[in-house]
Amino acid sequence: MPDKAFKQSNIRNFSIIAHIDHGKSTLSDRLIAHCGGLTDREMAEQVLDSMDIERERGITIKAQSVTLHYTARDGETYQLNFIDTPGHVDFSYEVSRSLAGCEGALLVVDAAQGVEAQTLANCYTAIEMDLEVVPVLNKIDLPQADPMAVAQEIEDIVGIEAVDAVQCSAKTGIGIEEVLERIVQTIPAPDGDVDAPVQALIIDSWFDNYQGVVSLVRVKNGTLRAGDKMKVMSTGQSYQIDKVGFFSPKPTETGILRTGEVGFVIAGIKEIQGAPVGDTLTLTKQPAEKPLPGFQKVKPQVYAGMFPISSDDYENFRDALGKLSLNDASLFYEPENSAALGFGFRCGFLGMLHMEIIQERLEREYDIDLITTAPTVVYEVEKTDGSLVKVDNPVNLPAVNDIETIYEPIVEANILVPQEFLGNVINLCVEKRGVQTKMAYHGKQVAVTYELPMAEVVMDFFDRLKSTSRGYASLDYQFKRFQAADMVRVDILINGDRVDALAMITHREHSQSRGRLLVDKMRELIPRQMFDIAIQATIGNHVIARSTVKQLRKNVTAKCYGGDVSRKKKLLQRQKEGKKRMKQLGNVEVPQEAFLAVLKVGK
């Protein structure tokens, strides 16, 4: 195939920036198919979304890459390295990491939907990183597609030229060759010096049970070969390179990765932290003086406790978190001990979706059953003695008498919404204690900016925004500052015992109603038992709401008359499975849902 006539000037490294559902996966598959990367059978499944969870949720989470060879109309064969990026608001960090390996990005916009906020944020990241942004109008086969209006919208809102944007339909295949031609013509070839000491940026690393750590790298200078001795610059550790190659999308060994190329490196690294993302690889025999700049680190925004239901799983859990955090630098964890839930970890996430995905991966890939506590943001607390502490766990909020002021994190949220739903969006923002700072009309769309408490945004804001705008509003947000707020801790007592894992921090204004909703919700969720269960919400010693689960022995088999034993067994089995997700608190059994009930009372 390609290799004999290798030319650095014929390499094009690019990513695709697109809002969810605008057709990134379909377009990727088209590009792969056009360049002959896979057989029809292999194409039957969308290939780039490799993890099960991604496929089920239909979203792209992890950066992956594929190398294609395209013979262009000018007769030259180009090597296209396409690095996939995730599309959800929680994962903009991973986008910047993928972009760090590229010279260009396709901005894919649904020609029937127009620009959305998330595309915007990622697009600005690409522009800041000096990438060539190539607009692509997708879904032109749809009758409601309006490519000219959307091109104008791109110019107005994103601020890049788009009048002659490529138009295509990833679904029917129209315009796909034009997209490839545009990539070749407008995205610059990588620069970089073949003769300089090797510098390769680790875009991603993951743990493979057979190969050890596999890293996806972008070679910025020099050449990496199988058999070379390489050094991980941050740790100073050296390893012999076993295999190098690229994904086609199947892993293909080439024995060599040259300046400008993107591919994998396997070097028998067994320790999980051996090749951190953002790090630089060089060779021991002629090491580079400095590592590459890497990319900006992100801090987790949301924290929650995660506790294995069975304490036997604790070590596995620690190990699994280590493996997951290898290619997810934004996942934070440290041991936490809860009186109610035992030993577990306090984990930090970028947002709620990130949290759900990690929880699902732990349960599915590592087979660990977990109880997750309600997520909370990080507060700054000024104490009466003048000291300032950060609190990411309601349990650690200092005693009321020791608190001078609590500061809550405020985000700036950019929302794009069609005019007809603007009223609904404004109402939602007001309900969430938002303050409007900007509003501008762009054709049919309105761009509004609000300052909102992060605690309100991370809970159910995104879902509410979507449902109030029939899915049309889009959101992007970033941390702005800390601001003094009248926050209180609401505790939950079950039969008089405070359950540390159920505490929440909330605004005083909402504390009464949320406490009420929470105890009512708990009453629904906690199954009746052999005795009455009192549920109370308190602030300090003050009870703000109470509720009781009346005693009753739920006898599910009573419904089966006669002697159908197998049906009876099945029912008992089902009841047992239902119990698996219960946690025994004192003599009360509390289901997992109760620990997340706070999320359901976000009003």
Q: Site residues (CB under 6 A) for ligand GTP?
A: 18, 20-26, 49, 58-60, 87, 138-139, 141-142, 169-171
Residue 201: C-alpha distances to residues 101, 189, 193, 292 (Å): 8, 17, 14, 7
Annotated binding site for GTP: 21-26, 138-141
Cis previous bond, 249, omega within 30: yes
> What's the closest the beta carbon of residue 458 comes to ligand GTP, in angstroms?
20
Q: Strands 370-372, 251-253: parallel, antiparallel or unpaired by DSSP?
A: unpaired
Nearest to 29 by CA among 84, 77, 71: 84
Q: Of 139 and 514, which CB lies nearer to ligand GTP in the complex structure?
A: 139
Asked if residues 336 and 346 have their Cβ atoms less than 8 Å apart, the reply is yes
CA 534 to chain centroid, in Å, comes to: 38
> What's the closest the beta carbon of residue 46 comes to ligand GTP, in angstroms?
7
State in Å, rounded, how far the first CA of the chain is from the last one. Answer: 60
> What's the closest the beta carbon of residue 33 comes to ligand GTP, in angstroms?
13
Q: Rg (Cα) of the chain, in Å, rounded?
A: 27
Q: ∠ CA 522-352-90 to the nearest 5 degrees?
A: 170
Those residues with Cβ within 8 angstroms of residue 302's Cβ, 6 or more apart along the chain or in another chain: 348, 349, 350, 351, 352, 354, 355, 375, 376, 377, 458
Asked if residues 88 and 20 have their Cβ atoms less than 8 Å apart, the reply is yes
Q: Of 116 and 408, which CB lies nearer to ligand GTP in the complex structure?
A: 116
Q: Of 97 and 139, which CB lies nearer to ligand GTP in the complex structure?
A: 139
Asked if residues 16 and 133 have their Cβ atoms less than 8 Å apart, the reply is no
> What's the closest the beta carbon of residue 453 comes to ligand GTP, in angstroms?
28
Q: Of 352 and 485, which CB lies nearer to ligand GTP in the complex structure?
A: 352
Q: Of 116 and 328, which CB lies nearer to ligand GTP in the complex structure?
A: 116
Q: Of 11 and 140, which CB lies nearer to ligand GTP in the complex structure?
A: 140
Q: Of 87 and 434, which CB lies nearer to ligand GTP in the complex structure?
A: 87
> What's the closest the beta carbon of residue 137 comes to ligand GTP, in angstroms?
10
Q: Of 113 and 414, which CB lies nearer to ligand GTP in the complex structure?
A: 113
- Rounded CA-CA distance 117/416 in Å is 6
Phi, psi angle pair for 556, to nearest 5°: -70, -25
- Rounded CA-CA distance 520/173 in Å is 54
- Rounded CA-CA distance 525/492 in Å is 14
Q: 223: which 2 tokens?
A: 């050449």
Annotated binding site: 21-26, 138-141
- Rounded CA-CA distance 180/228 in Å is 35
Q: Of 142 and 329, which CB lies nearer to ligand GTP in the complex structure?
A: 142
Asked if residues 52 and 364 have their Cβ atoms less than 8 Å apart, the reply is yes
Q: 303: which 2 tokens?
A: 């924290």
Asked if residues 525 and 593 have their Cβ atoms less than 8 Å apart, the reply is yes
Instruction: Give the containing element (helix H, strand E) for 541.
Output: none
Q: 188: which 2 tokens?
A: 């610059």
Q: Of 46 and 237, which CB lies nearer to ligand GTP in the complex structure?
A: 46
DSSP annotation of 601: G
